[in-house]
Amino acid sequence: VQLVESGGGLVQAGGSLRLSCAASGRPFGTYNMAWFRQAPGKEREFVAAINWSGENQQYAESVKGRFTISNHGARNTAYLRMSSLKPKDTAVYYCAANSIGGSSWSDYSYWGQGTLVTVSS
Protein backbone atom coordinates (compact mmCIF):
# COMPACT_ATOMS: atom_id res chain seq x y z
CA VAL A 1 0.00 0.00 0.00
CA GLN A 2 1.31 3.42 -0.96
CA LEU A 3 -0.01 6.52 0.82
CA VAL A 4 0.46 10.12 -0.27
CA GLU A 5 -0.69 13.03 1.87
CA SER A 6 -1.50 16.53 0.71
CA GLY A 7 -3.24 19.65 1.94
CA GLY A 8 -0.89 20.89 4.63
CA GLY A 9 0.15 24.50 4.89
CA LEU A 10 0.16 27.64 6.99
CA VAL A 11 -3.08 28.78 8.59
CA GLN A 12 -4.02 31.27 11.26
CA ALA A 13 -5.43 30.15 14.58
CA GLY A 14 -9.15 29.51 14.28
CA GLY A 15 -8.84 28.58 10.63
CA SER A 16 -9.46 25.31 8.81
CA LEU A 17 -7.60 22.89 6.57
CA ARG A 18 -8.45 19.61 4.90
CA LEU A 19 -5.77 16.96 4.55
CA SER A 20 -6.04 14.22 1.95
CA CYS A 21 -4.44 10.79 1.84
CA ALA A 22 -4.46 9.05 -1.52
CA ALA A 23 -4.00 5.28 -1.31
CA SER A 24 -2.92 2.81 -3.94
CA GLY A 25 -1.73 -0.76 -4.17
CA ARG A 26 -4.67 -2.59 -2.56
CA PRO A 27 -8.44 -2.30 -2.72
CA PHE A 28 -9.32 0.66 -0.53
CA GLY A 29 -12.11 -1.15 1.23
CA THR A 30 -9.81 -3.72 2.79
CA TYR A 31 -7.93 -1.57 5.29
CA ASN A 32 -8.42 0.95 8.04
CA MET A 33 -7.02 4.46 7.89
CA ALA A 34 -5.65 6.78 10.54
CA TRP A 35 -3.95 10.12 11.01
CA PHE A 36 -1.08 10.71 13.40
CA ARG A 37 0.96 13.82 14.01
CA GLN A 38 4.39 14.66 15.33
CA ALA A 39 5.38 18.07 16.61
CA PRO A 40 9.05 19.10 16.85
CA GLY A 41 10.71 17.41 19.79
CA LYS A 42 7.64 15.35 20.63
CA GLU A 43 6.56 11.78 20.07
CA ARG A 44 4.18 10.79 17.30
CA GLU A 45 0.61 10.87 18.58
CA PHE A 46 -2.71 9.51 17.42
CA VAL A 47 -5.20 11.96 15.94
CA ALA A 48 -8.05 10.00 14.37
CA ALA A 49 -8.93 6.67 12.78
CA ILE A 50 -11.68 5.30 10.57
CA ASN A 51 -12.55 1.73 9.74
CA TRP A 52 -12.63 0.41 6.20
CA SER A 53 -16.39 0.89 5.79
CA GLY A 54 -16.33 4.44 7.15
CA GLU A 55 -18.93 3.60 9.77
CA ASN A 56 -16.71 3.92 12.83
CA GLN A 57 -14.42 6.79 13.75
CA GLN A 58 -12.13 7.29 16.71
CA TYR A 59 -10.57 10.58 17.85
CA ALA A 60 -7.97 11.78 20.29
CA GLU A 61 -9.51 13.86 23.07
CA SER A 62 -7.47 16.86 22.00
CA VAL A 63 -9.20 17.05 18.60
CA LYS A 64 -12.72 15.85 19.34
CA GLY A 65 -15.31 18.26 18.04
CA ARG A 66 -12.75 20.06 15.86
CA PHE A 67 -11.44 17.38 13.49
CA THR A 68 -13.41 15.01 11.28
CA ILE A 69 -12.00 11.92 9.57
CA SER A 70 -13.71 10.45 6.53
CA ASN A 71 -12.99 8.28 3.55
CA HIS A 72 -14.16 8.07 -0.02
CA GLY A 73 -13.89 4.54 -1.34
CA ALA A 74 -14.41 5.39 -4.99
CA ARG A 75 -11.54 7.88 -4.84
CA ASN A 76 -9.31 5.67 -2.67
CA THR A 77 -8.80 8.69 -0.46
CA ALA A 78 -9.08 9.45 3.24
CA TYR A 79 -9.54 12.96 4.58
CA LEU A 80 -8.96 14.87 7.78
CA ARG A 81 -11.00 18.02 8.09
CA MET A 82 -9.48 20.28 10.73
CA SER A 83 -11.38 23.26 12.12
CA SER A 84 -10.81 25.75 14.93
CA LEU A 85 -7.10 25.12 14.58
CA LYS A 86 -4.78 26.07 17.43
CA PRO A 87 -1.05 26.73 17.46
CA LYS A 88 -0.58 23.48 19.41
CA ASP A 89 -1.95 21.62 16.38
CA THR A 90 1.25 22.52 14.53
CA ALA A 91 2.93 19.27 13.47
CA VAL A 92 3.75 16.99 10.59
CA TYR A 93 0.61 14.96 9.91
CA TYR A 94 0.97 11.39 8.73
CA CYS A 95 -1.55 9.10 7.11
CA ALA A 96 -1.36 5.42 8.03
CA ALA A 97 -3.14 2.19 7.11
CA ASN A 98 -3.54 -1.29 8.53
CA SER A 99 -6.00 -4.16 8.68
CA ILE A 100 -6.92 -3.91 12.37
CA GLY A 101 -7.39 -0.20 13.13
CA GLY A 102 -6.65 1.28 16.54
CA SER A 103 -4.78 4.24 17.97
CA SER A 104 -1.31 2.82 18.44
CA TRP A 105 1.18 3.89 15.78
CA SER A 106 3.07 0.62 16.16
CA ASP A 107 0.04 -1.26 14.83
CA TYR A 108 0.21 0.51 11.48
CA SER A 109 2.31 -1.00 8.71
CA TYR A 110 1.87 1.57 5.97
CA TRP A 111 2.75 5.26 6.22
CA GLY A 112 2.75 8.32 4.03
CA GLN A 113 5.61 10.80 3.90
CA GLY A 114 3.81 13.40 6.00
CA THR A 115 2.49 16.89 5.38
CA LEU A 116 3.34 19.91 7.50
CA VAL A 117 0.59 21.92 9.17
CA THR A 118 1.60 25.20 10.78
CA VAL A 119 -0.90 27.19 12.81
CA SER A 120 0.11 30.76 13.59
CA SER A 121 -1.19 32.67 16.60
Q: What's the rounded mean pLDDT across residues 8-22?
A: 97
The fraction of the chain above a pLDDT of 70, given in percent, is: 98
Q: What's the rounded mean pLDDT across residues 13-18?
A: 98
pLDDT at 75: 76
pLDDT at 25: 83
Which residues, 6+ apart, have CB-to-CB distance to 2 below 8 Å? 23, 24, 25, 110
- Residue 28 reports pLDDT greater than 70: no
